[in-house]
């Protein structure tokens, strides 16, 4: 019984991926199906949470040491492309200075994903806005307390 269900789920997943391949780049599918840096960071130095007009929410957690992002994670309750965008955004910011991270826009995320269909481009905007929100919150925290 379990084997039949497993087989069914696997077949269904393969069918979904085959369908997705018609619309999305390999990079999008890779980050969607195998997201990097998924989950919370306890005691993060920066945190951003944004809900987009579509109703989906993305959260970004950053660990910062001496002005450099040493770890970045994300969470989302959103669509597949939002998972891909969150994953790509965290990959892009790790190792970057705060100034460099501020330059990561929707366009930069889209370029690294090899683009998204028109109707999913706002998912990259959600990831970019969440990153900027985290960076803004870090500045606020830094103002109130002395952190690296
Ligand atoms: Fe809401 Fe993609 S549809 S983030």
Kindly report the CATH number assigned to the domain that includes residue 47. Answer: 3.90.1010.10
Per-residue model confidence as pLDDT tens digits over 83-107:
999 999 999 999 999 999 999 999 9
**86 close to ligand 1 (CB < 6 Angstrom):** no
Structural domain tally of the chain? Answer: 1
Q: For the sheet containing 68-76, what is the strand order?
A: 46-51, 57-65, 68-76
Residue 99 Cα to ligand 1 midpoint, Å, equals 27
Instruction: Print the domain residue range for 48.
Output: 2-147
Q: Whose CA is nearest to atom 3 of ligand 1?
A: 79
0.95 exceeded by pTM: no
**78 close to ligand 1 (CB < 6 Angstrom):** yes
Q: Return the half-sphere exposure (C-beta side, CA atoms, 13 A cut-off) of residue 142.
A: 16
In this prediction, residue 45 carries a pLDDT of 96
Per-residue model confidence as pLDDT tens digits over 14-36:
898 888 889 999 999 999 999 99
């Amino acid at each position: 019984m379990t084997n039949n269900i497993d087989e069914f789920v696997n077949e269904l997943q393969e069918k979904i991926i085959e369908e997705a391949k018609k619309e999305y780049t390999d990079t999008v599918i890779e980050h969607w199906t195998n997201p990097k840096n998924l989950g919370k960071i306890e005691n993060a130095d920066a945190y951003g949470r944004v809900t987009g007009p579509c109703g989906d929410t993305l959260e970004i957690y950053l660990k910062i040491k001496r002005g450099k992002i040493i770890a970045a994670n994300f969470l989302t309750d959103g669509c597949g492309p939002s998972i891909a965008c969150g994953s790509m955004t965290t990959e892009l910011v790790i190792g970057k200075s705060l100034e460099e991270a501020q330059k990561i826009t929707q366009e930069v995320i889209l370029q690294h994903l090899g683009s998204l269909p028109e109707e999913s481009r706002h998912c990259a905007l959600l990831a970019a806005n969440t990153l900027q929100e985290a960076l803004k919150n870090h500045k606020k925290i830094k103002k109130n307390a002395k952190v690296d």
